[in-house]
Amino acid sequence: MSRTSNRADGDIVQDFLSVADLLEEPQLAQLYAYLAREGEATVQNVMDDLELAQGTAYSYVNRLVDAGVVDVTDDEQPRRYAAREIDLTVTTAAGDREYTITPALIDAVGRRETDADIDTYIDRHGVAGLATALTYAVARERGEVTHRLMADDLDISPLAAEMILQALRPVVHEHYEIEEAGAGLEELAIDGDGADDA
């Protein structure tokens, strides 16, 4: 499902609405990210791993299927479900910016339920703003940009930039290949666990 918003056919409107739903409802985003991560899962898996009641799990899975972002991969009981690749470029309502909805972005939005920094950032800067921050988070983990450059570019405080970069770091490491950089405790040549606790 790789399309752009400038193709003017009915499918686009369908995709656009369904993906917009995903981003509006963190629980749906969380479920989509779970299916993308697991590859395939049954409703029972969803209930167990996301701690959802049976009725809720069925309702969420069906909504994702209806929206066309999740497929039934095995129609035998129990049915198995898998996330479809989403790579959709959309334009903000104001028409001033474009951003791409990816599984990583949906995962990040899904985490607003449990991460106050992500939640606050979306409240202030919208999902489009979070998409931009995610781009910086990937570049920063690759050693291409610092939190201060992001702060300068986006006209936010360096502290606010550092906060959202740290909140997005697990998403980056989940969805992108990142090489480990810098020393850990071992290489410090200082005993991390030396004398008794004071």
Partner 1 sequence: MSRLHIADTGLFVAMGQPSNSRYQAVRRFARRNDVTFVLPERVYEELTVDDPEVEDVPVDAAIDEGWATVASSLEFSEPVVSRAMDGVQRYIANADDRPADDVERADAALAALAAQHLSTGAASAVYIYTTDIAAGEGAETVLASEGYGDSVTFVNGFRFIEDLVAGDS
Q: Which residues bind partner 1 (CB under 8 A)?
A: 117, 120, 124, 139-149, 151-152, 156-160, 162-163, 165-166, 169, 180-188, 190-195, 197-198
CA 157 to chain centre: 23
CB of 123 to partner 1, least distance (A): 10
Partners of 98 in beta bridges: 91
**Rounded to 10 degrees, what is the CA torsion of 96, 98, 104, 106?**
60
Residue among 8 and 159 whose Cβ is closer to partner 1: 159
Residue among 54 and 166 whose Cβ is closer to partner 1: 166
Q: Are strands 87-91 and 98-101 parallel, antiparallel or unpaired?
A: antiparallel
104 φ, ψ (degrees, to nearest 5): -65, -40
Residue among 94 and 181 whose Cβ is closer to partner 1: 181
* Cα 175 to Cα 169: distance, rounded to the nearest angstrom: 10
CB of 132 to partner 1, least distance (A): 15
CB of 107 to partner 1, least distance (A): 19
Report yes or no: 176 and 104 within 8 Å, Cβ to Cβ: yes
CB of 122 to partner 1, least distance (A): 12
Q: Omega of the bond prior to 78 within 30 degrees of 0, cis? A: yes
Residue among 95 and 184 whose Cβ is closer to partner 1: 184
Q: Who's near 117: CB < 8 A, 6+ residues apart? A: 163, 164, 166, 167
CB of 109 to partner 1, least distance (A): 19
Residue among 1 and 185 whose Cβ is closer to partner 1: 185
Residue among 95 and 194 whose Cβ is closer to partner 1: 194
> Within 13 Å of residue 28, how many CA atoms lie on the same side as its CB?
20
CB of 136 to partner 1, least distance (A): 10
Q: Which two tokens stand for residue 170?
A: 């697990």
